[in-house]
Amino acid sequence: MKRLTAVYSKACTLNSFMESAGIYIHIPFCSVKCIYCDFYSIADRENSIPRFINAIVKEIETCSMDVSNWKLETIFIGGGTPSLLIGSYIESIIKALERKYDLTMIKEFTIETNPGEAPLERLKDYHSLGINRLSMGVQSLEPNLLKFLTRIHSTDQVFKTYENARSAGFENINFDLIYSIPGQSWEIWERDLLLMLGLKPEHISAYTLTLEKGTELYQYVKKGQVSMPKEDQANEWFLNTHGILKSNGYPAYEISNFARKGMECQHNLHYWRIQPYLAFGPSAHGFDGNSRWGNVRSLDRYINQIESGNSPISMKESLTQKNLTNELIGFGLRMNEGINLAQIPEKYLNQFNTNLESVQEKWSNVLILLESTVSLNKKGMIYADAVGVDLML
Ligand SMILES: C[S@@+](CC[C@H](N)C(=O)[O-])C[C@H]1O[C@@H](n2cnc3c(N)ncnc32)[C@H](O)[C@@H]1O
Ligand code: SF4
């Protein structure tokens, strides 16, 4: 018993000195704005790329965040469509990060790409820069659905880009897929899923199409020009999708994320485990363990602020211990590993237990209660957000 306590306190001490952390870089450029996408991205602004690179390098150089207690283990270049940037631009960003931070412990370095917008030579350049994970925005293999989603790539380009990624040396590849798209049949979705599985990627993100306010799709639905699939169907597809992926060796480790053993996205796990991360680029959000902050959601304002010597940060909020605990609960429930009970402060345990009892009464048979974790079973995952709200303090 004594030995166990000693091991525990050593782990805690190490943890409190060096917390696992990540870096997020947001590249806002896209060739076309997709009708469903609410991420900050803009089309037809490629001419601003050189100024943007200078600005983001300056943002990195002037960042005053104290990261001396962080163990930087992941970098994620997301967007937008980062693969629109040639290798030398990505290199400028990486060099700026290297000058500023200790990147020797980076174990996962991802870049997002769109099929047809990531030529072989560029992928080779990315790989030689140390990027070791590629996330491909496939969404669908069905030409009509790609057209509906206003994607500009073809089905063939999905296979070609994947082949190029493998020959460029990438051994860790993710496919982003979307299902529950208006007009999509289960047969088409199942076919796409099986075709994607046949390529043996390391990771699959399968998202149900979300209707985001402020998108073109939202307007179509509001005007009655498009109908979204009914909730019952979405729930049934969700369970069947999880079943197919699991039986093919890709169990879910988060509601929409599936991986072969050991290939879970370490960067996203930082977000869901409420670990810290730096963030650079327009609209990028960061977290230092106590506060969250976000940059302006405008390329022009972002560049202007930095060029005139000002910070691009447009919002910052300190989280109370209660806020942080609620985040642990909300994000924890979305993961297979569940809520880590050891992270709930003692002063909230009573209230948490009371909430747990009422959730068990209201939602029958959705929770898995273990000694050190609370998680949701497959059926419960469908209602993760609602159960999370009921469980929060
Ligand atoms: C913002 S994109 C960036 C990467 C790349 N530009 C692309 O399109 O794949 C990241 C992923 O978010 C997902 N996504 C974006 N909007 C979505 C929505 N409304 N519903 C479901 N998934 C969405 C897509 O699967 C997409 O691949
Ligand atoms: S889904 Fe990807 S390609 Fe489409 S607008 Fe959003 S970021 Fe750009």
Please name the residues in contact with 186: beta carbons below 8 A apart, sequence gap of 6 or more: 237, 240
Name the residue at shortest CA distance from atom 2 of ligand 2: 80
In this structure, is residue 102 part of a structural domain? yes
Q: Which ligand is nearest the CA of 134, by number?
A: 1
Whether 111 and 188 map to the same domain: the answer is yes
Residue 208 Cα: closest atom of ligand 1: 21
Say if 279 falls within a structural domain. no
| 113 Cα to the center of ligand 2, angstroms | 10
The strand pairing partners of 339, in sequence order, are 374
Question: Quick one: 255 and 375 in the same domain?
Answer: no
- 193 and 48 within one domain: yes
Count of Cβ atoms closer than 10 Å to residue 61 Cβ:
11
The last residue of a domain, from among 241, 272, 303: 272
In a domain, 109, yes or no: yes
Any ligand 2 atom below 6 A from CB of 81: yes
* 39 CB near ligand 2 (under 6 Å): yes
Count the Cβ atoms, other than its own, within 10 Å of residue 90. Answer: 22
Site residues for ligand 1, CB cut-off 6 Å: 36-37, 39, 79, 81, 112, 114, 137, 139, 176, 178, 207, 209-210, 212
Nearest ligand to the CA of 32 is 2
The CATH number of the domain where 387 resides is what?
A: 1.10.10
Residues 266, 270: Cα–Cα separation, whole Å: 7
- Helix 120-128 vs helix 155-167: crossing angle, to nearest 10: 40
Q: Which residue has tokens 């999370």? A: 388
CB 275 within 8 A of CB 21: yes
Q: Report yes or no on 387 lying in a domain.
A: yes
3-state helix, strand, coil in the chain (%, to 5): 45, 20, 35
Q: Which residues span the domain enclosing 333?
A: 321-391
Bridge partners of residue 375, in order along the sequence: 368
| Distance from C-alpha of 56 to C-alpha of 42, rounded to nearest angstrom | 17
Concatenated DSSP letters for 66-104? --TTEEEEEEEEEES-GGGS-HHHHHHHHHHHHHHS--T
**Binding site membership of 177 for ligand 2 (Cβ less than 6 Å):** no
- Mark whether 268 and 329 lie in a shared domain: no
Contacts of 5 (CB under 8 A, 6+ apart): none
* Helix/strand/coil for 135: strand
Q: Is residue 169 part of a domain?
A: yes
Whether 303 is covered by a domain: the verdict is: no
User: Does residue 371 sit in the same domain as residue 267?
Assistant: no
Measured CA to CA, the distance from residue 370 to residue 58 in angstroms comes to 48
Find the angle CA(182)-CA(197)-CA(33) to the nearest 5 degrees.
40
In total, how many domains does the chain have?
2
Instruction: Give yes or no for residue 193 CB within 6 A of ligand 2.
Output: no
* Final residue belonging to a domain, choices 256, 272, 288: 272
Q: Residue 32 Cα, ligand 1 centroid: separation in angstroms? A: 13
Cα Rg, the chain, nearest whole Å: 22
CATH number at residue 98: 3.80.30.20
Task: Identify whether 356 is part of a domain.
Answer: yes
Indicate whether 242 and 373 sit together in one domain: no
Cα 37 to middle of ligand 1, angstroms: 6
Domain boundary (272, 306, 341) is at 272
2, with CB counted inside 10 A (0-12, 13-18, 19+), is exposed
Domain presence at residue 10: no
Per-residue pLDDT of the chain (393 residues; tens, 9 = 90+): 222 222 233 333 344 568 999 999 999 999 999 999 999 999 999 999 999 999 999 999 999 999 999 999 999 999 999 999 999 999 999 999 999 999 999 999 999 999 999 999 999 999 999 999 999 999 999 999 999 999 999 999 999 999 999 999 999 999 999 999 999 999 999 999 999 999 999 999 999 999 999 999 999 999 999 999 999 999 999 999 999 999 999 999 999 999 999 999 999 999 999 999 999 999 999 999 999 999 999 999 999 999 999 999 999 999 999 999 999 999 999 999 999 999 999 999 999 999 999 999 999 899 999 999 999 999 999 999 999 999 999
Determine which residue's CA is closest to atom 27 belonging to ligand 1. 137
Place of tokens 């450029």: 29
Mark whether 197 and 268 lie in a shared domain.
yes
27 C-beta closer than 6 A to ligand 2: no
**Which of 36, 161, 176 maximizes ligand 1 atoms within 8 Å of its Cβ, making it the mutation to test the pocket?**
176
Separation of 99 CA from ligand 2 center, angstroms? 30
